[in-house]
Structure 1
Amino acid sequence: MSLNEIATLDVFLVEPSHTQRIIITQHLQAAGIEAVTCVSTGGEMLKYLKQAKPDLIISSMYLPDMTGVDLIHEIRKDSESYDTAFILISSETNIKYLEPIRQAGAIAILPKPFSLQELDTALRASLDYLNPAKIDLAHFDVEDLHVLLVDDSEFSRKYIRRVLNNIGIEYIRCARDGKEALQLFQAHYFDLIVTDYNMPEMDGLQLVKAIRGDCQHISSVPILMVTSEQNQNRLAAIEKVGVSAILDKPFEPTAIKRLIVQLLS
């Protein structure tokens, strides 16, 4: 993607600090963004969304009237602005506060301070999300692929479904937890399973175990786990039971395309 493509992004920055607004705007301009609209509160941003639809919203975590979590949830609840790309910039490291951002389909979570390389990667991921290209599989017609998507977060399901639709996958069945997913797996044929890890009823680890141990069905189906889980012992346990690949939340759309090509080619 060229600098010219990045320059076409219509960006809104939600940042209460005047100093931070200047710093982030300068970084955006250095990355190629020609114009940045700045607001100080989440309420101002939501008001703007009733009049116009930006390509990308970049927000701080802590705003005068709400948090970045509240803001992205309000954006995702609105059908008109649902598909807007969202990046969080925050010094927050507590998983309790970052997890809802990941689950709501943020393109990226950047630290304060962030590097130009980190910003460039996030901007390119936003472009790929907004202007997707279908994947090309050697032995499959991507439009005929049947995918089972498993995630207990409605926001996350919608976001991942949008990404899968963007790359040409049309047949997607969704499940809210591992138990529901296992029932669908046993009743239907799937070329690929995309699942979260932390879920009620039956988590991703238990789901992978059940699928790999099912002798009556095709247990070799590729399983891609998309998760924000950071515990290395848990991740190692997932790999041992036969997951095909693990992708972190938030993920770049190009990353899931690359993994699907690897898994199905």
Structure 2
Amino acid sequence: MQNAPLTNASQEIKLLVLDIDGTISGESNTISQPVKQAIAAVQAQGIAVAIATGRMYRSALRFHQDINSTLPLMAYQGAWIQDPISQKIYQHSPVSRNIAEQLLDYFEQPALRSLLSVHFYINDQLYVRDITPETQAYAQRSGITPISVGDLRQTLATEPTKILALCDDTSVIKDLLGNLRRQYTPAELYMTTSVATFFEATNAIVNKGNAVRYLAEDVLGLQSHNVMTIGDNFNDLEMLEYAGIGVAMGNAPEDVKAIANWVAPSVELDGVATAIEKFLLS
């Protein structure tokens, strides 16, 4: 864990960026009152609050509205950045059709086909080969109705914003990530896990760190030392590293906690409220 002089750093924070799942939202799939109150308190002090999530834009929108954010929403790991008020899309960086087809070929190998539920996200819609139990559970939590198309190649007239492969066996996802990281360089494809059962792939330039940098520096005219980020998983690593104060949740994997400036209590213990009180309200 980094040992930064956080007391002084906290006085310079102008932007707080929050992940959703495992950070401001736990098992209930909602934001608790203590967390909402802490967010409102920092906004009252003039600190802007934004969301950066792996979720679809439509799925993340209710959380953005719940915290009364006035900033663009960073969805799909930052592949889609849109202002819900003006509807302006600031950035959209999809996966190339060529790589999407290659990934689909890989997922549909006989050894993997029956194990994986594959999701293509196109124009903020969710397309699937068929509706699996994993897809049903995902759709219920996300509040999204999946569109079953059989062969996902039919959807590729438009390039996907994100590609997701789900499997309840976490060892399958771990092996998948390792194998594909040997096939594609970071300059070709960004790959991560947001939870241990989700493999996620986006355009190589996409990650939450780049999204937060864009929002802070290009949109708001801030620098990294003006930013505090809070997240709980491997898809949050880049934004935790970018920020002047990067906070990992208590429920985060150990490798994520290791790069954070501070580790908050878990999501079920309202860790975001504790972190906000420690760094921004004390």
Compute the TM-score of the two structures, normalised by the length of structure 2. 0.29
Q: Greater RCO between the two (CA within 8 Å, min separation 6)?
A: 2
Give 1 or 2 for the bigger CA radius of gyration: 1
